[in-house]
Amino acid sequence: MSQNVTLSERDKLQIEKIKQMLLENKTHLDMSQALKIHRRTLYRKIQKWIKTEDFETWLKQAWLQKYQKVDDVEAFKGLTRLLGYVITRKLEVKEHVEQVIIDATDDEATILSKAVAILERKTKSRSIH
C-alpha cells in the first residue's frame, strides 16, 4: 500500500510522537494539542504517513508487541482495526488491479463486456456476504 511518499524531517519527528500517542490510545484532539497543531493538520500528516512503507512496518510491529502482552485492551483494539483496514485496502487494490486488465486491441464492445462482467461479479459477491 505504500506509495513512495517522502516525509519531511519535521513530519518524521512528529510521526514518531504520533506513534507513541497511538500506542497510548490518545485521541486526535489529544495528539493535536500535544503537537500544537490543528486537528486537520494532524489528520493530513497521518494520511501522508499511511502512504509510506514506515506505516505498515510500524503497524505490524506495534500490533505484534501488543498481541504478546495485551495490557491495554483499547490500544490493542485500535491497532487491530488499523491493521484490518490496511489488509482490506490491499485486497481491494489487488482485486481492482486484477479485474481491470484490458488489451490494447480490445474494441469498445469488448471493453464494455468486460466492465459488465466485473460489475456482475461484484454484485454477486456482495449479495453473498
Query: Average pLDDT for residues 31-40, to the nearest whole number?
Result: 95
What residue type is 58 in one-letter code?
A: W
User: Distance (Å, rounded) from C-alpha 100 to C-alpha 90?
Assistant: 16
> Which pLDDT score is estimated for 62?
81
Element housing 57 (H / E): helix 53-68
Average pLDDT, the chain: 76
Domain limits of the chain?
9-97
| Cβ atoms of 102 and 114 closer than 8 Å | yes
Q: Which residue would you say has higher pLDDT here, 66 or 43?
A: 43
User: Distance (Å, rounded) from C-alpha 61 to C-alpha 72?
Assistant: 16
pTM over 0.75: no
How many other CB atoms are found less than 10 A from the CB of residue 51?
Answer: 16
Phi, psi angle pair for 17, to nearest 5°? -70, -40
Q: What is the pLDDT of residues 52-91, one digit of tens each?
A: 888 888 888 887 776 666 566 676 677 777 777 777 766 5
